[in-house]
Structure 1
Amino acid sequence: MKRLRVRHTTTYRYKRPVTFGEHRLMFRPRDSHDLRLTATKLRISPKADVRWLHDVFSNSIAIAIPQEPSDTLTFESTIDIEHYGSDSATFPLAPHARTYPFSYPAEESPDLQRLTERHYPDPEHKIDTWAKRFLEDRGGPVDTNLLLGEITRAIARDFGYERRHAIGTRPPVETLDLGTGSCRDLALLMMEALRALGLATRFVSGYLYDPARDPARQDTEQHALSGAGATHAWVQVYLPGAGWVEYDPTNGLVGGGNLIRVGVARDPNQAIPLKGTFTGYPDDYLDMDVAVEVTSATEE
């Protein structure tokens, strides 16, 4: 078990004071058997009216409306958690799901249907071709755990990582053609590839704990991970017998040992950590800074 603290600060800057509309924040994790929220603090400047709700996926959402004009808008979120995520690369699967292909149980298929469907155009079947190469020359059924691990590591190995603050997520075919992408882009590519294989996947937004960036762990030799220092994104795959399993294609990691899940969604556009509006001239907006620090307290 790890005890971790996440400090997430987002600052917007403008040429002159502007007024602000509604802002939607996805900063707060949900308690579960693998993640326990022990403390939380949210500070917004200028002061804002805040209300909380659960979205269609039961993610915890804050709706904030800043009450005063300003040339700077800052959101500071601090959460303390106990994290029980697994670093295992294999999971105890139901007997029929230990090899691919397999079918989802009849009682679960209706709930998983939209998560197995392709969401983005692929007119030349590039994603299909890329995904099915992992099934070539197998001579029979494929071990499910090995297959998913290979796809995760292949994206980390063959695609470049770029930190990109532009709004939105690239279409998977574009990411495949470019051979590079942000964590959100790489996660979406993996989702569509697995959906091409008939697997139920969903998008995860949250944070990455990198021991190499933790001042309390500087005496250990750790390989730095990509995506730390900002919000992170990865994939969950539904596997009978194991449930929702975490895969981080940006770093080629299987299991959620260093992943702090905040929100899950069918599509990346439904899991944007922060979005909102302002009223002013189009060129009033200057820039945005995002800083995320994940540090450990004690570990048992």
Structure 2
Amino acid sequence: MKLLIRHETRYQFRQPVTLMAHRLMMTPRSGHDLTLLTSSLCCTPTATFHWSQDVSGNVIATANFDRPTDNLQIVGQAEVEQCAPAWPVLLIDPAAHSYPFSYAAADLRDLGALSSADAIAPRVCQWADAFVAGVPTDTLSLLKDLNAGVLGAVAYRVRDEEGTQSPEQTLEIASGSCRDIAALFIAAARHLGFGARAVSGYLFDPDPISPDGGSTHAWAEIFLPGAGWIAFDPTHRRMVAANLIAVAVGESNQRIMPVTGGYLGTPDDALSMDVVVHVTQ
């Protein structure tokens, strides 16, 4: 299916401020199940863009501004062809069918920090261990149980504050945004020995309550030999990439925020920020 995406971010300031360079990650990632047909990015006031890719292959536009302003508008638009099946056949390597398994040495080197369990809080480790009913067990069933089980411990809530809660904090307060829920799932998966990465992008809702038909979203991907990167969306207890449009992948949500930047002025100069996203057929 073809999808149209419009992502607008607006900032209002109390007085003209000098905008610093802004790092924008708003271009969908092409892959075997998603093709980027067209894309555009514009800013008001006018910006000069420098285009690059980061170590994960994400497309980055660095916007530079040449005059003070009391407002900033960033609009990204794209048309994509999304063909991810709702019920894919996952050809997992037989050696990885049963958990626990070991990644090949070459895969483990490439995964690097994406498979590191360092600094994961003991409470998160204990919570993750509870999903392992016995050893050995079926790998995909374990991941499905973990994906479905996050909402058993955490309630979804809209959270307008910037940043991501720590997985331990999300368990402690038993609530979080989609990016908080995804971060908890990723930490638990890494503790269990899986390669996992954060994904930011858009969710298309074919039966929307509001006319927007979509929103910015955060989820996770797990690397399984043979099948590759598999999408897990613990916020909706869903697996695979149907109705998901990935923009960026990385070690953590902090590395893949759609808009990052600053200004020269005082904290009181910032009056408001609004984000409006439309994802439609």
The TM-score, its normalising length taken from structure 1, stands at 0.89
1:86 is displaced (CA, Å) by 2.9
> Of residues 119, 133, 149 in structure 1, which corresponds to 2:130?
133
1:113 is displaced (CA, Å) by 3.1
RMSD between aligned residues: 1.9
Residue of structure 1 equivalent to 2:9: 10
Measure the CA separation in 2 of the matches of 1:194 and 1:109: 15
Q: Is the 8 A contact 2:97 2:139 kept in 1?
A: yes
1:1-300 to structure 2, matched below 5 A, reads: 2-88=1-87, 91-122=90-121, 125-136=122-133, 139-213=134-208, 229-296=214-281
Q: Is the 8 A contact 1:35 1:84 kept in 2?
A: yes
Residue of structure 2 equivalent to 1:221: none
1:194 is displaced (CA, Å) by 0.6
Query: Which runs of 5 or more residues in structure 1 are unaligned?
Result: 217-227
The structure-2 alpha-carbon separation of the partners of 1:119 and 1:20, relative to structure 1 and needing over 3 Å to count, comes to farther
Q: Is the 8 A contact 2:153 2:171 kept in 1?
A: no
Q: Is the 8 A contact 2:100 2:135 kept in 1?
A: no
Moved beyond 4 Å, runs of 4+: none
Q: Is the 8 A contact 1:230 1:290 kept in 2?
A: no
The structure-2 alpha-carbon separation of the partners of 1:113 and 1:281, relative to structure 1 and needing over 3 Å to count, comes to closer
Matching residue's letter, 1:211: P
Query: Which runs of 5 or more residues in structure 2 are unaligned?
Result: none
The structure-2 alpha-carbon separation of the partners of 1:120 and 1:258, relative to structure 1 and needing over 3 Å to count, comes to farther
Percent of matched pairs sharing the same residue:
39
Measure the CA separation in 2 of the matches of 1:191 and 1:184: 10
Measure the CA separation in 2 of the matches of 1:89 and 1:149: 14
1:282 is displaced (CA, Å) by 2.3
Q: Is the 8 A contact 1:47 1:68 kept in 2?
A: no
1:89 is displaced (CA, Å) by 6.8
Question: What secondary structure does 1:283 align onto?
Answer: helix
Q: Is the 8 A contact 2:27 2:78 kept in 1?
A: yes
Measure the CA separation in 2 of the matches of 1:229 and 1:120: 34
The structure-2 alpha-carbon separation of the partners of 1:140 and 1:280, relative to structure 1 and needing over 3 Å to count, comes to closer
Measure the CA separation in 2 of the matches of 1:151 and 1:163: 22
1:215 is displaced (CA, Å) by 8.3
Q: Is the 8 A contact 2:53 2:59 kept in 1?
A: yes
The TM-score, its normalising length taken from structure 2, stands at 0.95
C-alpha distance after superposition, 1:210-233 (max 9, x if no partner): 1122889xxxxxxxxxxx754211
Q: Is the 8 A contact 1:214 1:295 kept in 2?
A: no
Measure the CA separation in 1 of the matches of 2:201 and 2:118: 22
Measure the CA separation in 2 of the matches of 1:151 and 1:86: 22
Measure the CA separation in 2 of the matches of 1:260 and 1:156: 22
Q: How many residues align?
A: 281
